[in-house]
């Protein structure tokens, strides 16, 4: 990704400091935030200063590495294992967080080893995961771009671009590849994605940086455009993919998929294979986060004076139900775009991805 023509990742580590693009300030202000300890890391994930399945995974990996770097020798393993547990309790839905932490817990953290080697190994694994994520997303772009015809109008939901990963993104990566590498013309309809508006805040901002033509639409508009034949293709990201191909993603994905199918519009999910939860049989057993109702009762943004502010858009006496994600059953998904190729959203397709075969 390039921001103002300079190359960035969404998250990286310098010495013992984790550095992230501070996402709640976007699109109004571009700022790098330093994360110095576990408390700051947990807050960054909880408050969505860093968000998106891949970026949360990278934050978890770097966070555990940082905890190890800062832990004292005398209670090293207790501290690190406890940190792993705390990181796993920040947000429940995105699989990538559990993938990296579990891999560190089972593959690296070994009380027989000495703290020094473990610190180095955890740091290396966090870096490896971040590189894997960036490279996998680039490959998603390459495979997915084949689905995008010159002149296509693509619909996307939430933000599954660079900001949701370490680089490139998942759902937007095919668009970037098609435009930048293949010189195709692509127009993107950006669902604003209430309540947090990751579409209008983040996806639109990425597309501005990439100079890709787009229009922000209220989530309510997507279906009407599908009905009018204005959308050729839908690509969304995923927070967790079950073993049968069901997908948990940002709330609203399910409705988009149902209406797309009704109108014969191909609906694709783009995600690195680290998003797959092989222990999860079907979408019904994916834990769905319920978030603070103020996200629905208020809207946060920049006021006319240029200050970040909020406005209440509901009666003081009303409450809200704020589900963060929904489940899209596999039957609505035309295919899953991964770093290994494009696979059917089915038990067979998922197990092929997990076996490491690819069709691309």
Q: What is the DSSP letter of 194?
A: T
Annotated catalytic residue, options 219, 239, 246, 277: 239
* 106 part of the interface to its own copies, by CB under 8 A: no
> Strand, helix or coil at 101?
helix
Does the annotation count 239 as an active-site position? Answer: yes
Site for its own copies in 275-314 (CB under 8 A): 296-304, 309-314
* 264 part of the interface to its own copies, by CB under 8 A: no
The answer to whether the CB of 332 falls within 8 A of the CB of 295 is no
Place of tokens 């590495």: 65
217 forms bridges with which residues in the sheet? Answer: 191
Q: Which of 259, 269, 280, 330 binds its own copies (CB under 8 A)?
A: 259
From residue 181 to residue 220, what is the string marking binding to its own copies with x (rule CB under 8 A)?
A: --------xx-xxxx-x--xx--xx-xx-----xxxxxxx
Q: Tokens for 100, please give them.
A: 């990296």
The answer to whether the CB of 236 falls within 8 A of the CB of 256 is yes
Least separation in angstroms between residue 197's CB and its own copies is: 5
The answer to whether the CB of 205 falls within 8 A of the CB of 97 is no
* 38 part of the interface to its own copies, by CB under 8 A: no
By beta-carbon proximity to its own copies, the closer residue of 119 and 291 is 291
The answer to whether the CB of 175 falls within 8 A of the CB of 148 is yes
* 77 part of the interface to its own copies, by CB under 8 A: no
By beta-carbon proximity to its own copies, the closer residue of 63 and 195 is 195
* 118 part of the interface to its own copies, by CB under 8 A: no
Q: What is the DSSP letter of 27?
A: T
Site for its own copies in 129-188 (CB under 8 A): none
Separation of alpha carbons 146 and 22, rounded Å: 33
Q: What angle do CA 15, 17, 23 make, to 5 degrees?
A: 140
17 CB contacts (<8 Å, ≥6 apart)? 34, 35, 36, 66
Site for its own copies in 217-256 (CB under 8 A): 217-225, 227, 250-252, 254-255
By beta-carbon proximity to its own copies, the closer residue of 87 and 235 is 235
Query: Which residue ranges make up the site for its own copies (CB under 8 A)?
Result: 27-28, 189-190, 192-195, 197, 200-201, 204-205, 207-208, 214-225, 227, 250-252, 254-255, 258-259, 262, 296-304, 309-323, 326-327
Active site residues: 239
């Amino acid at each position: 990704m390039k921001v103002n023509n300079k190359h960035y990742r969404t998250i990286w580590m310098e010495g013992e400091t984790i550095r992230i693009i501070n996402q709640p300030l976007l699109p109004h202000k571009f700022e790098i935030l330093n994360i110095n300890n576990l408390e700051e890391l947990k807050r960054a994930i909880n408050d969505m200063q860093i968000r998106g399945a891949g970026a949360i995974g990278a934050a978890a990996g770097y966070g555990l590495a940082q905890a190890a770097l800062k832990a004292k020798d005398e209670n090293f393993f207790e501290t690190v294992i406890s940190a792993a547990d705390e990181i796993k309790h920040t947000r429940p839905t995105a699989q990538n967080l559990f993938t990296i932490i579990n891999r560190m817990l089972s593959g690296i953290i070994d009380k027989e080893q000495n703290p020094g080697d473990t610190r180095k190994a955890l740091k290396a694994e966090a870096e490896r995961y971040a590189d894997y994520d960036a490279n996998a997303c680039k490959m998603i772009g390459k495979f997915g771009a084949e689905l995008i015809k010159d002149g296509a109008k693509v619909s996307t939901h939430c933000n599954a671009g660079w900001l949701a990963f370490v680089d490139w993104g998942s759902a937007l990566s095919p668009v970037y590849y098609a435009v930048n590498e293949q010189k195709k013309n692509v127009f993107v309809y950006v669902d604003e994605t209430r309540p947090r508006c990751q579409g209008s805040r983040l996806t639109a901002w990425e597309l501005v940086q990439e100079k890709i033509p787009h229009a922000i639409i209220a989530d309510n508009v997507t279906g009407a455009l599908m009905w009018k034949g204005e959308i050729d293709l839908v690509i969304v990201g995923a927070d967790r993919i079950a073993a049968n191909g069901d997908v948990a993603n940002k709330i609203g994905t399910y409705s988009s998929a149902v209406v797309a199918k009704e109108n014969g519009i191909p609906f694709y999910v783009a995600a690195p294979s680290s998003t797959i939860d092989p222990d999860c049989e079907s979408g019904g057993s994916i834990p769905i986060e319920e978030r603070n109702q103020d996200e629905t009762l208020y809207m946060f943004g920049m006021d006319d004076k240029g200050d970040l502010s909020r406005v209440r858009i509901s009666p003081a006496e009303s409450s809200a139900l704020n589900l963060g994600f929904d489940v899209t059953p596999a039957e609505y998904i035309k295919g899953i775009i991964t770093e290994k190729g494009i696979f059917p959203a089915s038990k067979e397709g998922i197990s092929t991805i997990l076996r490491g075969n690819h069709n691309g």
